[in-house]
Structure 1
Amino acid sequence: MIHEHLHFFHFLGIILGKRITEQAGVVLTLDPKPIEGDWNGAGYHTNYSTLSKKAILNLSLRHSDHISAYGEGNERRLTGKHETANINTFSWGVANHGCLIRVGRDTKKAGKGYLEDRRPASNMDPYTVTGLLA
């Protein structure tokens, strides 16, 4: 039942967003880089907690599966510039905004907490991303 509610509100948010932007005379897009240029684009960073000490290893082993499901046009955003990492090379780091998986200082210090997956693009499907991280 919760999944159905989340799906409804996700859909409602997009529909309302499109209506509001139409009235304002602009276009709503979830494209990760709708305007080409020297900037970082739009991501959908996803934070999650895990008990597994092998979480980063497991993410690295399935990197290509994740990238292929994390949104169209993501290669235009994950270039290795502007606090992004290269889409083709798995990377992680502590308090590092230039890697694909960021571990916070507090998480590293405490040995527990959350990881930030910086790979998903702004046009990703949140249910697909969550399913891959589960």
Structure 2
Amino acid sequence: EEHIAVYGPDNDQRLTGLHETQSIDMFSWGVADRGASIRVPHGFVENDAYKGYLEDRRPNSQGCPYKIASRILQTIDTVKV
């Protein structure tokens, strides 16, 4: 909910689980998975090392990119590895 709140208006209409989107109330990630919430490229995992980028597919074009990036970084900062 914290992420969806800054990802732009009307995401409930867009994130339906149809048309290569994950449902708004579900989270998933996958390698080259267009239907996942977070998509990573094939080369992301090499020799047990994570390198590259990730693509959060949930924000819409009306979301503020600074608020979206801030929310993602806050979440990453809380992850214990």
Instruction: Indicate the residue corresponding to 2:52 in structure 1.
Output: 113
For 1:86, the aligned partner's letter is S
- Asked if 1:88 corresponds to 2:10, the answer is no
Given that residues 120 and 129 in structure 1 are in contact (C-alpha distance below 8 angstroms), is that contact kept between their aligned partners in structure 2? yes
- Asked if 1:126 corresponds to 2:61, the answer is no
Which whole-Å CA distance do the structure 2 matches of 1:87 and 1:108 have between them? 27
Aligned equivalent of 2:9, options 47, 54, 72: 72
For 1:105, the aligned partner's letter is H
Structure 1: runs of 5 or more not aligned: 1-63
Q: Deviations over 1:49-99 (max 9, x none)?
A: xxxxxxxxxxxxxxx200111111011111111111101011111100001
Q: TM-score, normalised by structure 1?
A: 0.50
- Asked if 1:101 corresponds to 2:38, the answer is yes
Structure 2: runs of 5 or more not aligned: 74-81
| Over 6 Å off, 4+ runs | none
The CA deviation at 1:108 is 2.3
Q: TM-score, normalised by structure 2?
A: 0.81
Larger Rg: 1
- What is the aligned-residue RMSD (CA, Å)? 1.1
Bigger helix fraction: 1
Which whole-Å CA distance do the structure 2 matches of 1:133 and 1:106 have between them? 21
Which whole-Å CA distance do the structure 2 matches of 1:72 and 1:88 have between them? 15
Instruction: Kindly tell me the number of residue pairs found equivalent between the two proteins.
Output: 71
For 1:65, the aligned partner's letter is E
